[in-house]
């Protein structure tokens, strides 16, 4: 196989299928490692640690050689990140997908055009026009990956996997940084290897939701506090690769746009007809997993979540599902400061 | 609240009646804002809570009292009443890292002092927080929302998309309020909007004069609030008052800040609560704030034969939209037009959109030799305002600018 | 049979020894200091000595507080939230809210009708509203920290501090002194500031505070001025147990007894 040509991306709303169809390997720049400390000078310290850490990684050249970057206009912070990227790496090619915040028809159609525009641009970057056939093939591959991730999740949450959530997180992280074919392969192997009933433990079943939380160690930490993370709603977790439903009569672009907007959402997306529906849905999904409680972990300064957590909390309390809200910067150090809170929460659930 | 606005209105009207010479443009502006405030609370006409770049000319043509939500935050702050609402929002779980324009609005809505809207229209520009506030209000008031997705650039496809979306919005509003957009009223509103635009353009142009004909308070919060009057006669009247007064001043050689030495640009919005920044700048350093970022006409007159396109273009044209380079270009242009020596960026705490570009703006303006003072304040919450520290920074900045000039 | 609870906080290390009938046999409070192992040994020796028993007589030890995992002889470690909850329940029936203000942090715990913890909130990031805040202010006012509790007597409540942050509040207090404001008024202002921080935290758990049956623990609970200010701000009475600083350790001892009963059952 030829040398991998990477395109960096930063948001789970990125249509990876197009990147793959264009012959690139999508590489998610995850906010992993040290707490961010320099990005604030280029932008401002009040931006979320996801954005700041990604920018720090760019400043440190802690990313593979990139053929370009694809950003998504998912929130103010992400837009500022794209601005800062252009400034600190002026030679990188940059594309910003304009992502609508609502899910109705006109938004889908707008996003469809954006995906088409992206396809055109990536064709230019790769030097080859991207064929519809290739896109359809990529969609199939990503659907396979999404299905595997779902399988892995389901098995893990029903105690039919002998691995830890930490190992699963490491798998997730690989899946968004390695070529799709190898991701499919190692996840299938992983599932086969660990496909056994796990031992009973007295850990308390908990559902976790929030935005970015990619450090595998953090999941061991939750376990050390007595929690078993049964399932998650995290954009670096089980909702990072949404499947695409292909409808016969619609173009792949339309199908992709629709699936992206209708996917298990990040709270930056909203439903016009029912305010806070997406937040309330999280509580319902948690309940469906029969957990004893839910933990919300969000990074600091994240506007989409900051302004929606109260509604989620209220719903959880109404549904009598205990909830603990934590804030941090996705590093072990910051989550470590919450040990007492988490342990007290678990004691309360026992 | 309604009474509060009535009192201001009566007060201003009385002053003007007793002494017509006191009818300054700023008084007229304050009067009309208070009337808008009164209308919001009077409950006579349906209310629309909106995002900042909503098509106010259309809503005004439909006789819907419409306003962006942040207005309430600014008002609560300027009256010194904001603390309880911020506390209320915090107790409801809205973390203090968010923009306090928004938190105060949420606190106010929960305490029942936000007028009940008939419709909620969010705009994705300028900020993510604004949309989330609209969603929260929808929950509190049990209303549906309409979100105007403001695309990132002004390509013709984007303009067409937004124009179509605004049309859908009209339908949405008609359905929810039972009020039809009357064709003639609409045309009239477009004409008014264009007239106001043109007069404001003249006002802003006069403001370029050296020394500046007005002082640092007269055009404070001006451009952004004037958009609420788009399409109305009131808007034209306010703009006229300013034009008249400014041309008179220019003729008579009046200078807004006597002995003007330093010319400053204010980035984004002002500090909304009572503070002594402007006074100190003017009295101690003869420094005039000659231009605010949003006091500028960034759009073309709207073609009455194709109004939606023109309105869409206007919404897209706000400098906060799109990549920060666009905004920096706008700021650079203002610096040149207004012969600015230095800029002040408050970096409202919690504003990802604006404060989030702090470093890039500073660097951009440095390229044209305009230094920026980053204040790092919360423009709404006076509780964290450390006057002494702010003063020291302002003084140091002024000394630096003075040295640069000499 | 004896049960020992050790609460090792950042400022003080407390121990409570109870017997099989849950009677408090001995208790001790020592400063934690830099080496917490020594503090743990000291409080343990203290209570053993005053009870006149030896190590072998202790059936079970539960540790709590931020240093709970450093207590080597523990049978288990339980968080201070659970321990404070358990401790205060033993002191009075029908409590539905406990406010604990320690040296470094503060917390509010909400109970359901059976006395089980329903929800809690913690403030461990900001010094405002903790013992540390009061200490800093006592220093600025040049009064003894143990005296500050009585100093608001006779104040009319004319001073309101606008700053929430310790650093800003410090300079505000300095300027109030410079303006010649009476010390009792300043202290009342400080108490009100702590109260408003605390009530903010409580309201995140319970919007309506006036109907709560509340209790307070932690060192600051000995400060009657602060307790009064919180009680006024919440609009309800506040029960303060006789030994408010050892509630956590008491809870730990009670949990130690329950746990060992479960084990043997
Ligand atoms: S959605 Fe939140 S976490 Fe994600 S980039 Fe935006 S602010 Fe950061
Ligand atoms: S200050 Fe920033 S975050 Fe706040 S309303 Fe304005 S643009 Fe939005």
Distance from CA of B135 to the nearest CA of A (A): 5
Output the pLDDT for position A232.
96
User: Residue C202's closest chain B neighbor by CA?
Assistant: B91
Residue C140 has pLDDT above 90, yes or no: no
Output the pLDDT for position C102.
84
Residue C103 has pLDDT above 60, yes or no: yes
**What's the pLDDT band for A48 if we cut at 50, 70, 90?**
very high
DSSP label of B199:
H
Output the pLDDT for position B2.
86
Alpha-carbon gap, residue B176 to A318, rounded angstroms: 30
DSSP label of A31:
-
DSSP letter for each residue of A218-246: HHHHHHHTTEEEEEEE-TTTTTSS---PP
Alpha-carbon gap, residue B272 to B270, rounded angstroms: 6
Cα B99 to ligand 2 centroid, rounded to whole Å = 6
Q: Which chain A residues contact residue B351 at CB under 8 A?
A: 46
Residue A80: both structure tokens together: 């500022």
**What's the pLDDT band for C219 if we cut at 50, 70, 90?**
confident
Residue B286 has pLDDT above 90, yes or no: yes
Q: Is C122 at the interface with chain A, CB within 8 A?
A: yes
The mean pLDDT of B128-144, rounded to a whole number, is 96
Q: What are phi and psi of B289, to 5 degrees?
A: -85, 105
Please name which of A343, A254, A259, A252 lies closest in space to residue A295, comparing C-alpha atoms.
Answer: A343
Which of C:216-255 have CB within 8 Å of A? none
Taking the alpha carbons at both ends of chain A, their separation in whole angstroms is: 53
Residue A50 has pLDDT above 60, yes or no: yes
| CA A324 vs CA A309, B4, B175, C79: distances in Å | 11, 41, 41, 15
Residue B284: both structure tokens together: 């101690």
Residues ≥6 apart with Cβ < 8 Å to B14 = none
The mean pLDDT of B337-343, rounded to a whole number, is 97
Q: pLDDT, tens digit, for every residue of C177-198?
A: 888 888 889 889 888 888 988 9
Q: Which chain C residues contact residue B384 at CB under 8 A?
A: 163-165, 168
The mean pLDDT of C230-250, rounded to a whole number, is 94
Alpha helices in C21-70 (DSSP H): 36-51
- The percent of residues in chain B predicted with pLDDT above 70, rounded, is 100
Cα A78 to ligand 1 centroid, rounded to whole Å = 7
**What's the pLDDT band for C265 if we cut at 50, 70, 90?**
low
Q: pLDDT, tens digit, for every residue of A187-232?
A: 999 999 999 988 888 899 999 999 999 999 999 999 999 999 999 9
| CA C66 vs CA A272, B56, B250, C129: distances in Å | 45, 56, 69, 19
Q: pLDDT, tens digit, for every residue of B308-337?
A: 999 999 999 999 999 999 999 999 999 999
Cis peptide leading into B237, omega within 30 of 0? no
Alpha-carbon gap, residue B389 to A30, rounded angstroms: 38
Average pLDDT, chain A: 94
Residue B200 has pLDDT above 80, yes or no: yes
Output the pLDDT for position A76.
97
Alpha-carbon gap, residue A63 to C92, rounded angstroms: 60
Q: Which chain C residues contact residue B383 at CB under 8 A?
A: 162-164
Cα B350 to ligand 1 centroid, rounded to whole Å = 14
The residue ranking higher by pLDDT, B79 or C168, is B79
Question: In this structure, which residue's CA is closest to atom 6 in ligand 2?
Answer: B351
Residue B277: both structure tokens together: 């920044």
Residue C128 has pLDDT above 90, yes or no: no
Alpha-carbon gap, residue B13 to B9, rounded angstroms: 6
Alpha-carbon gap, residue A105 to A262, rounded angstroms: 11
Output the pLDDT for position B246.
93
Are the CB atoms for A194 and A168 separated by under 8 Å? no
Residues ≥6 apart with Cβ < 8 Å to B249 = B213, B214, B256
Alpha-carbon gap, residue A178 to C169, rounded angstroms: 53
Q: Which atom of ligand 2 is nearest to the CA of B126?
A: 7
Q: pLDDT, tens digit, for every residue of A51-64?
A: 999 999 999 999 99
Sheet holding B287-292, edge to edge: B287-292, B262-266, B342-345, B372-374
Phi-psi region of B63 (alpha: psi -120 to 50; beta: other; left: phi over 0): left
Q: pLDDT, tens digit, for every residue of A250-308?
A: 789 999 999 999 999 999 999 999 999 999 999 999 999 999 999 999 999 999 999 99
Residue A65 has pLDDT above 70, yes or no: yes
Output the pLDDT for position B362.
96
The residue ranking higher by pLDDT, A1 or C12, is C12
Please name which of C59, C65, C58 lies closest in space to residue C82, comparing C-alpha atoms.
Answer: C65
Average pLDDT, chain B: 95
Burial class (CB in 10 A: 0-12, 13-18, 19+), B96: middle
The mean pLDDT of B131-145, rounded to a whole number, is 96
DSSP letter for each residue of A150-181: HHHHHHHHTT---S-HHHHHHHHHHHTTS-HH
Alpha-carbon gap, residue A216 to A163, rounded angstroms: 13
Q: How many CA atoms lie within 13 A of A14 on its CB side?
A: 26
Output the pLDDT for position B29.
95
**What's the pLDDT band for A14 if we cut at 50, 70, 90?**
very high
| CA A71 vs CA A16, A24, A300: distances in Å | 11, 15, 21
Q: Which atom of ligand 2 is nearest to the CA of B355?
A: 2
Q: Residue C200: which of B91, B383, B388 has the nearest Cβ?
A: B91
Question: In this structure, which residue's CA is closest to atom 1 in ligand 2?
Answer: B351
Long-range contacts of A30-35 (CB under 8 A, 24+ apart): A30/A173, A30/A176, A30/A177, A30/A212, A30/A214, A30/A236, A31/A57, A31/A212, A31/A214, A31/A299, A31/A330, A32/A173, A32/A214, A32/A215, A32/A330, A33/A57, A33/A62, A33/A331, A34/A331, A35/A329, A35/A331, A35/A333, A35/A334
The mean pLDDT of C156-181, rounded to a whole number, is 78
Output the pLDDT for position A1.
44
Residue A227, beta-bridge partner list: A204
**What's the pLDDT band for A246 if we cut at 50, 70, 90?**
confident
Output the pLDDT for position B221.
93
- Does B383 sit within 8 Å of C164, measured CB to CB? yes
Phi-psi region of B81 (alpha: psi -120 to 50; beta: other; left: phi over 0): alpha
Q: Which chain B residues contact residue C204 at CB under 8 A?
A: 90-93
Residue C133: both structure tokens together: 């805040």
The mean pLDDT of A1-9, rounded to a whole number, is 82
* Contacts across the B-C interface (CB distance below 8 Å): 20
Are the CB atoms for B375 and B347 separated by under 8 Å? yes
**In a 3-state reduction of DSSP, which class is residue B129?**
helix
**What's the pLDDT band for A2 if we cut at 50, 70, 90?**
low
Are the CB atoms for B238 and B29 separated by under 8 Å? yes
The mean pLDDT of B50-55, rounded to a whole number, is 98
Residue A247 has pLDDT above 80, yes or no: no
Domains detected in chain C = 2-85+245-264 (3.30.420.40), 94-240 (3.30.420.40)
Q: Which atom of ligand 2 is nearest to the CA of B99?
A: 4
Alpha-carbon gap, residue B363 to A54, rounded angstroms: 21
Distance from CA of A196 to the nearest CA of B (A): 42
Q: Residue C82: which of A317, A322, A347 has the nearest Cβ?
A: A347
- Does A341 sit within 8 Å of C122, measured CB to CB? yes
Q: pLDDT, tens digit, for every residue of B377-402?
A: 999 999 878 888 888 899 999 999 99
Residue C99 has pLDDT above 80, yes or no: yes
The mean pLDDT of C168-172, rounded to a whole number, is 78
Model confidence, pTM: 0.92
Q: pLDDT, tens digit, for every residue of C65-98?
A: 989 998 999 999 999 999 999 999 999 999 999 9
Helix or strand (DSSP H, E) at B256: none
Residue C200 has pLDDT above 90, yes or no: no
The mean pLDDT of A77-103, rounded to a whole number, is 97
- Does A43 sit within 8 Å of B136, measured CB to CB? no
Give me the interface pTM, i.e. the ipTM. Answer: 0.95
The mean pLDDT of A150-162, rounded to a whole number, is 93
């Amino acid at each position: 196989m030829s040398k991998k040509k990477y395109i960096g991306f930063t948001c789970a709303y990125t249509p990876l299928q197009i990147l793959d169809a264009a012959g690139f390997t999508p590489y998610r720049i995850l906010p992993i490692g040290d707490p961010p400390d320099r990005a604030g000078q280029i932008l401002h310290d009040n931006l979320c640690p996801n954005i700041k850490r990604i920018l720090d990684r760019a400043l440190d050249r802690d990313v593979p050689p990139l053929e370009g970057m694809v950003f998504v206009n998912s929130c103010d912070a992400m837009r500022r990140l794209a601005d800062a990227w252009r400034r600190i790496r002026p030679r990188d090619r940059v594309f910003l997908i304009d992502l609508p915040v609502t899910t109705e028809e006109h938004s889908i159609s707008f996003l469809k055009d954006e995906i088409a525009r992206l396809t055109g641009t990536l064709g230019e970057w790769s030097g080859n026009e991207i064929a519809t056939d290739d896109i359809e093939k990529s969609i199939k591959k990503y659907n396979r990956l999404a299905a595997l991730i779902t399988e892995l999740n389901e098995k893990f949450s029903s105690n039919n996997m002998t691995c830890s959530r930490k190992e699963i997180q490491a798998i997730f992280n690989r899946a968004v940084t390695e070529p799709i074919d190898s991701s499919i392969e190692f996840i299938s192997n992983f599932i086969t290897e660990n496909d056994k009933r796990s031992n009973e433990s007295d850990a308390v079943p908990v559902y976790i939701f929030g935005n970015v939380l990619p450090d595998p160690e953090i999941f061991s930490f939750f376990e050390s506090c007595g929690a078993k993370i049964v399932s998650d709603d995290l954009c670096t977790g089980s909702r990072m690769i949404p499947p695409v439903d292909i409808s016969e009569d619609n173009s792949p672009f339309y199908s992709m746009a629709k699936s992206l907007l209708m996917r298990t959402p990040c709270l930056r997306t909203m439903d016009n007809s029912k305010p806070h529906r997406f937040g309330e849905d999280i509580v319902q999904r948690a309940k469906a997993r029969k957990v004893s409680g839910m933990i919300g972990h969000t990074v600091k300064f994240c506007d989409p979540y900051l302004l929606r957590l109260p509604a989620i909390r209220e719903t959880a309390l109404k549904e009598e599902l205990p909830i603990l809200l934590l804030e941090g910067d996705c590093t072990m150090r910051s989550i470590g400061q919450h040990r007492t809170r988490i342990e007290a929460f678990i004691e309360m659930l026992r | 609240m309604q009474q509060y606005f009535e009192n201001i209105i009566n007060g201003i009207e009385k002053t003007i009646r007793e002494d017509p010479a006191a009818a300054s443009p700023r008084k007229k502006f304050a009067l009309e804002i208070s009337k808008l405030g009164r209308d919001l609370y009077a409950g006579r006409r349906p209310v629309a809570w909106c995002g900042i770049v909503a098509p106010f000319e259309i809503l005004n043509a439909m006789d819907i009292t419409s306003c962006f939500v942040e207005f309430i935050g600014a008002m609560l702050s300027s009256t010194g009443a904001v603390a309880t609402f911020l506390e209320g929002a915090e107790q409801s779980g809205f973390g203090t890292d968010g923009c306090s324009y928004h938190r105060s609005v949420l606190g106010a809505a929960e305490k029942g002092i936000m007028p009940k809207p008939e419709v909620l229209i969010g705009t994705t520009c300028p900020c993510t927080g604004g949309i989330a506030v609209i969603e929260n209000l929808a929950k509190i008031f049990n209303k549906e929302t309409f979100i105007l997705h403001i695309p990132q650039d002004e390509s013709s496809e984007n303009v067409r998309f937004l124009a179509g979306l605004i049309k859908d919005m009209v339908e949405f509003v008609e359905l929810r309020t039972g009020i039809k957009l009357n064709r003639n009223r609409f045309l009239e509103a477009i004409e008014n909007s264009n007239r106001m635009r043109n007069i404001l353009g003249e006002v802003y142009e006069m403001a370029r004069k050296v020394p500046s004909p007005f002082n640092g308070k007269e055009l404070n919060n001006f451009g952004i609030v004037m958009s609420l009057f788009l399409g109305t006669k009131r808007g034209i009247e306010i703009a006229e008052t300013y034009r008249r007064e400014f041309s008179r001043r220019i003729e008579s050689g009046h200078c807004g800040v006597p002995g003007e030495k330093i010319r400053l640009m204010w980035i984004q919005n002002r500090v909304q609560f009572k503070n002594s920044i402007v006074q100190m700048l003017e009295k101690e350093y003869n420094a005039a704030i000659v231009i605010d970022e949003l006091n500028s006409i960034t759009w073309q007159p709207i073609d009455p034969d194709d109004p939606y396109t023109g309105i869409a273009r206007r919404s897209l044209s706000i400098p906060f939209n799109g990549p920060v380079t666009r905004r920096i270009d706008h700021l650079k242009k203002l610096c040149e037009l207004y012969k600015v020596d230095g800029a002040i960026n408050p970096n409202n705490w919690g504003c990802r959109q604006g404060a989030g570009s702090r470093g890039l703006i500073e660097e951009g303006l440095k390229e044209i030799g305009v230094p920026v003072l980053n204040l790092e304040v919360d423009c709404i919450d006076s509780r964290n305002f450390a006057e002494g520290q702010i003063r020291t920074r302002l003084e140091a900045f002024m000394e630096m600018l003075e040295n640069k000039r000499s | 049979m004896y049960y020992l609870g050790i609460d090792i906080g950042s400022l003080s290390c407390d121990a409570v020894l109870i017997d099989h009938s849950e009677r408090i046999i001995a208790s001790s409070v020592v400063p934690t200091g830099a080496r917490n192992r020594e503090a743990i040994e000291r409080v343990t020796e203290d209570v053993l000595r005053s009870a006149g028993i030896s190590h072998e007589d202790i059936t079970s030890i539960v540790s709590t507080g931020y240093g709970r995992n450093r207590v080597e002889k523990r049978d288990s470690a339980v968080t201070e939230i659970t321990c404070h909850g358990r401790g205060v329940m033993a002191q009075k029936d029908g409590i539905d809210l406990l406010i604990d203000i320690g040296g470094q942090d503060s917390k509010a715990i909400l109970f359901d009708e059976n006395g089980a913890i329903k929800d809690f909130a913690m403030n461990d990031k900001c010094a405002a509203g903790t013992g540390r805040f009061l200490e800093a202010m006592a220093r600025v006012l040049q009064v003894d920290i143990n005296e500050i509790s009585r100093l608001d007597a006779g104040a009319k409540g004319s001073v309101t501090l606008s700053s929430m942050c310790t650093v800003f509040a410090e300079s505000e207090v300095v300027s109030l002194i410079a303006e010649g404001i009476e010390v009792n008024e300043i202290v009342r202002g400080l108490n009100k500031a702590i109260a408003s921080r605390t009530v903010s935290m409580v309201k995140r758990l319970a919007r309506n505070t006036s109907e709560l049956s509340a209790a307070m623990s932690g060192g600051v609970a000995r400060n009657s001025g602060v307790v009064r200010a919180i009680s006024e701000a919440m609009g309800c009475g506040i029960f303060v147990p006789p030994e408010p600083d050892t509630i956590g350790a008491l809870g730990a001892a009670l949990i130690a007894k329950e746990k060992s009963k479960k084990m043997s059952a």
